[in-house]
Amino acid sequence: MLKEKLGQAIDQRKAKIGVIGLGYVGLPLIVEFCLKGFDGIGFEVDENKAKQVNEGISYIVDVPSENLNKCVEAGHLVATTDFSRLTECDVIVICVPTPLRKTKDPDMSFILSAGEEIQKYMRKGQLVLLESTTYPGTTDEVLLPMLEAKGFKLDEDFLLGFSPERVDPGNPQFQTHNITKVVGGVSSASTEVAAKLYGTIVDSVHPVSSARVAEACKLWENTFRAINIGMANEMARLCNALGIDTWEVVRAAATKPFGFMPFYPGPGIGGHCIPLDPHYLSWKARQHGFDSQFISLAEQVNSSMPRYVAGLVRDALNEKEKSVKGANILILGVAYKKDIDDMRESPALSIIDLLRSRGANVYYHDPFVPEVTFDHSYTIGDGEPLFSRELTDELIRETDCVVICTDHTDVDYGRVCDISSLIVDTRNALSEDFRKQSSATIIRL
Ligand SMILES: NC(=O)c1ccc[n+]([C@@H]2O[C@H](COP(=O)([O-])OP(=O)(O)OC[C@H]3O[C@@H](n4cnc5c(N)ncnc54)[C@H](O)[C@@H]3O)[C@@H](O)[C@H]2O)c1
């Protein structure tokens, strides 16, 4: 039987693992499998990424080139743009992007295109797993019919399931191996084999009764974050209106050992997950006549934060009898969160765009991001690309307002406090000591 055969191949590390999409999710995953003794083939549409993988060069912060190189040199890992090699794999894991269309509806084109390649090259005896975040029902409603259209039968000829990826890029404490893996198959045999497979690379696997439960679990988790960040952002604005220190309040509330979990305000939300995933859930809910109001409200609050921050900059400059127009504004940190290079959906881009549209001269420093480009269909400012500037004393001195958008660790905030005249800190990056010693006007969220 297929279940036993694949199970045995996994136990003996003889199952060949194919991963489609070698990005933030797919590359760490395939490297983890290869480090555990499996052979892996990474499938990419981006020739340059495939080439770098084959040269042992990592382009993902959480994957040290040393580990990648070890897998490549030992002959355990190869990357290719040739999808006919899917036939060689016993397991195929899909890790392609799931963006939104401009209308905020799910863009399923990447999953569909990966599904079409699998349909073309699949053979009997394979386990197919989807890891891309998507709405509940995708594995059953989209992938299953594609694989069955080939005349193959579930459980007899192939197994199919969903396992959400929970990796948090840049998080040194939690990485693939110590994050529990939720697994839901479209059949119980699929769940069992998928759980066995993931059990080889993670400390703990949590099987659920269906792919839909696993899909919904991921969206629940990320919607929880989006809503709680939305609440933190609203509380920050409320505290600001009442003249209370937001950060002191949240620090105090976090001392409660139960019933409270701290979330922090910021300039908005970014990355490929939190701003997008809740829309996958609300889109599916709408198809069933359900209006998810929490999701809409969180979206409204979070997406208004860049405008709020631009307003803080305008008001702070005004106090100094300066206008935004013509002001030199230094954005400190443009990545969507600290210590990574990911710019996707970063609120810093909106803040730069808003300030430029009002005539400010905006430049930035980010140790992780050498260049930023702007999507012209969204910009209201000039949309010119920007390059990270060195954080010199002269640069800080000629700046009218420093805006801390990302609290990267590797920035000398003491020096920024010493030299600046005006700082808007959206991340509470400046310690109390720095603030006390500084003669700058410091505005915090
Ligand atoms: N980045 C995260 O922190 C994170 C965390 C959890 C879940 N996810 C989810 O995982 C999925 C992948 O996200 P990511 O951040 O790794 O995206 P990514 O853009 O970093 O990587 C996706 C890769 O897939 C490749 N690709 C696109 N279409 C392809 C195709 N048809 N065949 C082969 N390769 C293809 C792209 O070239 C890219 O390298 C998304 O659904 C995302 O929501 C991401």
The per-residue pLDDT for range 101-126, each reduced to its tens digit, is 988 899 999 999 999 999 999 999 99
Catalytic sites, residue numbers: 273
**175 CB within 6 A, ligand 1:** no
**21 CB within 6 A, ligand 1:** yes
* Ligand 1 atom 41: residue of nearest CA: 132
Taking 50 as the pLDDT cut, the residues of the chain under it are: none
Predicted pLDDT at 34: 97
Predicted pLDDT at 169: 82
**218 CB within 6 A, ligand 1:** no
Give one DSSP letter per residue of 323-385, joined into a string: -STT-EEEEE--SSSTT----TT-HHHHHHHHHHHTT-EEEEE-TT-SEE---TTT-SS----
CA dist 86 and 29 (Å) reads 17
Predicted pLDDT at 372: 96
Structure tokens at 278: 């809740």
Structure tokens at 405: 């958008």
Q: In a mutational test of the pocket of ligand 1, which residue from 25, 59, 107 has the highest number of ligand atoms less than 8 Å from its CB? A: 25
Main-chain phi, psi angles of 194, to 5 degrees: -65, -40
Residues 268/305, Cβ–Cβ less than 8 Å: yes
Amino acid at 191: T
* Ligand 1 atom 27: residue of nearest CA: 96
Predicted pLDDT at 203: 96
Instruction: Report all structural domains of the chain as residue ranges with CATH numbers, in order of start.
Output: 2-209 (3.40.50.720), 219-301 (1.10.1040.10), 304-444 (3.40.50.720)
- Cα 232 to ligand 1 centroid, rounded to whole Å: 28
- Cα 26 to ligand 1 centroid, rounded to whole Å: 7
Q: Which residues contact 77 (CB under 8 A, 6 or more apart)?
A: 30, 31, 34, 39, 40, 41, 42, 53, 68, 71
Residues 324/358, Cβ–Cβ less than 8 Å: yes
Ligand 1 atom at minimal distance to the Cα of residue 26: 16
Give tens-digit pLDDT for 369-400: 999 999 877 788 888 999 999 999 999 999 99
417: nearest Cα among 436, 392, 444: 436
